[in-house]
Amino acid sequence: MIRFDQVTVTYPEAATPALTEVDLTIDEGELCLVVGSTGSGKSTLLGAVNGLVPHFTGGRLDGSVVVAGRDTRDHPPRELADVVGTVGQDPLAGFVTDTVEEELAYAMEQLAVPPTAMRKRVEETLDLLGIADLRHRALRTLSGGQQQRVAIGSVLTLQPQVLVLDEPTSALDPTAAEDVLAVITRLVHDLGLTVVVAEHRVERVAQHADRVVLVADGQVTIGSPAAQLEGSPLAPPVAQLGTRLGWSPVPLSVRDARRHAAPLREQLEPLAPPAHPGAPGHVVVDARRVSVQHREVVAVREVDLQVRAGEVVALMGRNGSGKSSLLWAVHGAGPRHGGTVAIGGADPADAPRPAARRLVGLVPQTPSDLLYLATVAEECAQADHESRSPDGTCEALLRRLVPDLDPTRHPRDLSEGQRLALVLAVQLTARPAAVLLDEPTRGLDHEAKERVAGLLAELAAAGHAVVVATHDVELAATVAHRVVVLAEGEVVAEGPAAEVLVASPAFAPQVAKVLAPLPWLTVDQVVAAVAASGSRA
Amino acid sequence: MARRAPGRNLHPGAWWLWAIALATAASRTTNPLLLALVVGVVWLVVDARRSEAPWARGFKAYVVLGLVVIAIRVVFRVLLGGDSGGHVIVRLPELPLPEAAAGIRIGGPVTAEAVLGSAYDGLRLATLLLCIGAANVLANPKRLLKAVPGALHEIGVAVTVALSVAPQLVESGQRVRRARRLRGEGGRGRHLVREVAIPVLTDALDRSLFLAAAMDTRGYGRRAAVPAASRRLATGLVLGGLVGVCLGTYGLLDSTSPRHLGLPMLLGGAAAAWAGMVVTGRRVVRSRYRPDPWRTAEWGVAGTGLLVAVVVAATGSVDATALHPSLSPLTWPTLPLLPAAAVLVGALPAWIAPPPPPPAASTPNPARPEREPVTAGAPLPAPAPPGGRSPSVPLPASTGAAVPEASR
């Protein structure tokens, strides 16, 4: 269905090609997962399938890409629209019309599908994706998972043979991601669609994939998921657990792993998982009965939140459950309609700005909103100036986070992870007692995510109180001491991370699902315990 | 009559034709009674047939704008009076001006003729505005764009996209303004513009590139092969035709221009543009999903509007004094019967147009948005922390301590 033949892609003004002599064949009806770190050439590979590379992005493509018998050399993306459907990471940014029904019809209008056929296909697609009740809704009012399903539907109406999805679930909470993945697997199984999907959250897709394409430094390998992911740092936690405990074949789903895990559970039964290092200190953040209201909607309702020095608290809950509103209310920059917040005894909303910055720092969901200067160095200097810190404080911080960052680069040219580090450095320049982060791992690859996890642990170790709102259950499992789960603006669960995460079907990390009901959260914990008990025996 | 027909949206073109026809009629007269009648008719129809959709809520803004126009018109005329003679109402202090500004006078006597004349003029302009406003309120502007001929399709899409960009800009502006507070006080004045504008604009650019790519992969811009000669012919026809339409409209609205500049020019231009669009339209291969039908009700609405325009224009050419009440000598304006009756016919759409569909079907469910919208603004004053003890902030001892070691 898709054939790459000696494909080399070079972008203008790039020293090295983004893809080098790639040979790849993807057969009809396959669900093919593309994994690789940021900048590995993953997006280029996807773009080459739908023709955006090089027709839209510029650059030079040597070799040939043939999709459903059409050479992308002679067919720009619009001429491939009836064989390749493309869905991006942010569905809202790709919508052309206002309502669900019009959006589904848009691509068909472009291809001059007769009106009667259009009407029929819109109805069929609405049913296929289970969104018939949303047909008249405005796209902007839909939830993230619904928007992503509409985006998939809007390309399905052309009845393509290939579906290309670039990070379809990275902005979604775990439950919404499940919805979207269920739709995708259904399309593969029922309609025989060939699906190429890139995803950083490998654990969500690996079990559904027929084959896995690994992209690294412009080189591409393809193979069965088990073979490709065995021993890879990109592998999902179940596969890592299997690899390190020598299970064969390497499990890719919780179900497979549980079959292997019976003896392991017996072995771990008498042991207690290690507690997080470092005893939390005194209470730094003391928020009581905080309420936030957006017009008629109560976003946060009388929530109490205490965070101690040296403690990482993970805020979890589906999209729209009030996580961000709570963070902003605690910070003082967002609205708060009730309750009190004391950070180190003072309310940051009342404190003058420079003093407030020493109390609390917030890294928002889109960190780039904070950046407006032309170079990294200027941003750092501005941060020093704003927080009345000695010159060079911010830059020193940044060097510790990202050692090899060129200070003359434009902040917009940085990778997501580097930009996050820059904003974090800017916010840490004032040395706030409490650090709040909103979805810090969104759009990050595995390596950057590990760095963030390490960073959060070190912030806590240095005595900061850290609150992180996240959908990323593996991140929460790795770093959080305590977890607070919000729903409809209220706290529905709160307690030590192991207790809360293991008990929740949506937020349990893979290791916990494999070992339930035992309270183990991460691969490292389990492997260390097994090694210890093995040496004792 | 479609009085009992189930609710549906009238074809936007019909509303626009009706509104433009009323505006044309209004532009032909300065008779305040007749203009007031037009305003009343427009108001009645808007009130009867507007939907609950978001775009249908802007009528008050047009009313306010109209009042502002009248006020500005009168105030300027009073201040820059000019010495035209007549009944002086009040004498303002006159501002002495240098020789060079001969012919311009600021202040001085204010005459009833000048005030009335400018008020009539302002009322005419305000009525025009109100007619256009009514069209905007009654017909979804986006559906009108969908109904444009094939040749203008791409422009239509561009406008649609631009319309959806505006709320996005507002949203990202709010987000960035909020984010500014996170960096402490930040800059002021010039810096403020930069701090907000640069992230918002880069964000908008990123979005538009992304949207362009998405549209490309969904088949936007597919073309049928058409020979170059016919393409040039089409371009010429469309351009020439549109120029003709502009000149014709001007001629029609301005009753002092020569007669042949009006209707004949407009019709000729429209014909040329239409022919050009037909030729161009062959290049654009596309179909339409559930287009708005054009039925009896549409004919009725557009027809009543045209009737008003034709009768008023005809009256103007027969008996100009009926439409332009005399200012010297000052007389009470009278309501000319025939044009007034015609304007009343313009109110018929309040009954013959089908009512808009119920809100559930036509407007988005105002469910709460997924992304937690945090509106910027000062939080309510919160009670002071209990105890009132001095802030003992556990600051990390030094930068080094606060900062994690560079890892990995």
pLDDT digits (tens, 9 = 90+) for A444-488: 888 888 888 988 998 898 889 999 999 889 999 999 999 999 999
Q: Where are the domains of chain A?
A: 2-232, 236-273+503-537, 283-488
- Nearest-by-Cβ selection for B374 from A136, A324, A339: A324
Tell me the sheet residues that pair with A222. A213
pLDDT of res. A373: 84
The mean pLDDT value for A401-412 works out to 85
pLDDT of res. B190: 63
Q: What 3-state class would DSSP assign to A158?
A: coil
Residue A528 Cα distances to A241, B317, B407, angstroms: 11, 99, 22
d(CA B66, CA B60): 10
Please give the order of strands across the beta sheet that includes A31-35.
Answer: A84-87, A162-166, A194-198, A31-35, A211-216, A219-223
Length of chain A: 537
Please give the order of strands across the beta sheet that includes A490-496.
Answer: A360-363, A434-438, A465-469, A312-316, A482-487, A490-496
Tell me which amino acid residue B168 is: Q
> Is residue A60 within 8 Å of A10, Cβ to Cβ?
yes
State which of B86-100, B122-136, B238-252 shows the largest mean pLDDT.
B122-136
Determine, for residues B289 and A109 on separate chains, whether the beta-carbon distance falls below 8 Å: yes
At A427, list the tokens: 């916010």
The owner of tokens 């800059």 is B187
Determine, for residues A144 and B370 on separate chains, whether the beta-carbon distance falls below 8 Å: yes
pLDDT of res. A305: 93
Provide, as residue numbers in chain A, all residues whose Cβ is less than 8 Å from the Cβ of B406: 399-401, 403
Q: What 3-state class would DSSP assign to B37?
A: helix
Backbone angles phi, psi at B71, to 5 degrees: -60, -45
Determine, for residues A336 and B403 on separate chains, whether the beta-carbon distance falls below 8 Å: no
Q: Any idea what DSSP says for residue B223?
A: B
Is pLDDT of B46 > 60? Answer: yes
Q: To 10 degrees, the CA torsion angle through B106, B107, B113, B119?
A: 80
- Nearest-by-Cβ selection for B214 from A76, A94, A320: A94
The beta strand positions in A11-74, using DSSP E, are 19-26, 31-35, 60-67, 70-71
Residue A454 CA neighbour count, 13 Å, CB half: 15
The mean pLDDT value for B17-34 works out to 92
Homologous superfamily assigned to A2-232: P-loop containing nucleotide triphosphate hydrolases (3.40.50.300)
* CA dihedral sign of residues B1, B3, B6, B7: positive
Q: Which residues contact A447 (CB under 8 A, 6 or more apart)?
A: A37, A233, A417
Length of chain B: 408
d(CA A462, CA A427): 15
| pLDDT, tens only, B89-101 | 888 887 777 777 6
Return the percentage of chain B with pLDDT > 70, whole number.
Answer: 80
Is pLDDT of B187 > 60? Answer: no
Spell out the alpha helix ranges (H) of B80-227. 112-138, 141-146, 153-182, 190-217
d(CA B247, CA B241): 10
Is pLDDT of B359 > 90? Answer: no
d(CA A379, CA A90): 27
H/E segment holding residue A194:
strand A194-198
Q: Any idea what DSSP says for residue A135?
A: T
State which of A50-59, A138-147, B164-173 shows the largest mean pLDDT.
A50-59
Closest-CA residue of A relative to B212 is A94
Is pLDDT of A313 > 60? Answer: yes
- The angle subtended at Cα B160 by Cα B159 and Cα B166, nearest 5°, is 90
The mean pLDDT value for B269-281 works out to 82
Q: What 3-state class would DSSP assign to A19?
A: strand
Integer-rounded Cα Rg, in Å, for chain B is: 29
The mean pLDDT value for B36-54 works out to 89
Determine, for residues B383 and A426 on separate chains, whether the beta-carbon distance falls below 8 Å: no
Q: Per-residue DSSP letters for A451-501? A: HHHHHHHHHHHTT-EEEEE-S-HHHHHHH-SEEEEEETTEEEEEEEHHHHH
Say which range, A311-320, A376-385, B148-157, has the weakest mean pLDDT.
Answer: B148-157
Based on the number of CB atoms within 10 Å of its own CB, is A166 exposed (0-12), middle (13-18) or buried (19 or more)? Answer: buried
d(CA B343, CA B311): 9
Cβ pairs A/B, distance under 8 A: 306
| pLDDT, tens only, A131-174 | 999 988 888 888 888 899 999 999 999 999 999 999 898 878 88
pLDDT of res. A290: 94
> Is residue A87 within 8 Å of A151, Cβ to Cβ?
yes
Q: Which tops the pLDDT comparison, A440 or B368?
A: A440
Provide, as residue numbers in chain A, all residues whose Cβ is less than 8 Å from the Cβ of B392: 344-345
Q: Which tops the pLDDT comparison, B180 or A189?
A: A189
The mean pLDDT value for A410-425 works out to 86
Q: First vs last Cα of chain A: how many Å apart? A: 54
Homologous superfamily assigned to A283-488: P-loop containing nucleotide triphosphate hydrolases (3.40.50.300)
Name the average pLDDT for chain B: 77
d(CA B366, CA A91): 20
Based on the number of CB atoms within 10 Å of its own CB, is B196 exposed (0-12), middle (13-18) or buried (19 or more)? Answer: buried
d(CA A314, CA A484): 6
Is pLDDT of B109 > 50? Answer: yes
Name the average pLDDT for chain A: 89
d(CA B149, CA B147): 6
Return the percentage of chain B with pLDDT > 90, whole number.
Answer: 21
CB atoms within 10 A of CB B129: 18
Provide, as residue numbers in chain A, all residues whose Cβ is less than 8 Å from the Cβ of B380: 335-338
> Is residue A223 within 8 Å of A233, Cβ to Cβ?
no
Own/partner pairs, B73-78, CB within 8 angstroms, 24+ separation: B73/B118, B73/B119, B73/B121, B73/B122, B73/B125, B74/B115, B74/B118, B74/B119, B74/B122, B76/B118, B77/B114, B77/B115, B77/B117, B77/B118, B78/B110, B78/B114, B78/B115, B78/B118
d(CA B254, CA B390): 75
State the nearest Cα–Cα gap between B215 and chain A, in angstroms.
Answer: 7
The mean pLDDT value for B367-378 works out to 38
The beta strand positions in A231-359, using DSSP E, are 283-294, 297-308, 312-316, 338-343
Closest-CA residue of A relative to B140 is A98
Provide, as residue numbers in chain B, all residues whose Cβ is less than 8 Å from the Cβ of A52: 213, 216-217
Q: What 3-state class would DSSP assign to A88?
A: coil
Provide, as residue numbers in chain A, all residues whose Cβ is less than 8 Å from the Cβ of B202: 368, 412
Q: What 3-state class would DSSP assign to A164?
A: strand
d(CA A353, CA A489): 27
Determine, for residues B375 and A294 on separate chains, whether the beta-carbon distance falls below 8 Å: yes
Is pLDDT of B63 > 60? Answer: yes
Based on the number of CB atoms within 10 Å of its own CB, is A420 exposed (0-12), middle (13-18) or buried (19 or more)? Answer: buried
Is pLDDT of A328 > 70? Answer: yes
Is pLDDT of B392 > 70? Answer: no
Q: Confidence class of residue B402 from pLDDT cuts 50, 70 and 90?
A: very low
Is pLDDT of B174 > 90? Answer: no
Q: Evaluate whether A2-232 and A283-488 have a shared fold.
A: yes
State which of A239-253, B75-89, B246-260 shows the largest mean pLDDT.
A239-253
- Alpha carbon A252 to its chain's center: 19
d(CA B348, CA B144): 22
Determine, for residues A353 and B184 on separate chains, whether the beta-carbon distance falls below 8 Å: yes
d(CA B89, CA B109): 8
At A456, list the tokens: 């959060």
Is pLDDT of A278 > 80? Answer: no
Backbone angles phi, psi at A168, to 5 degrees: -70, -20
State the nearest Cα–Cα gap between A513 and chain B, in angstroms.
Answer: 28
Determine, for residues B380 and A335 on separate chains, whether the beta-carbon distance falls below 8 Å: yes
Is pLDDT of A418 > 70? Answer: yes
> Is residue A483 within 8 Å of A497, Cβ to Cβ?
yes
Q: Which residues contact B165 (CB under 8 A, 6 or more apart)?
A: B204, B207, B208
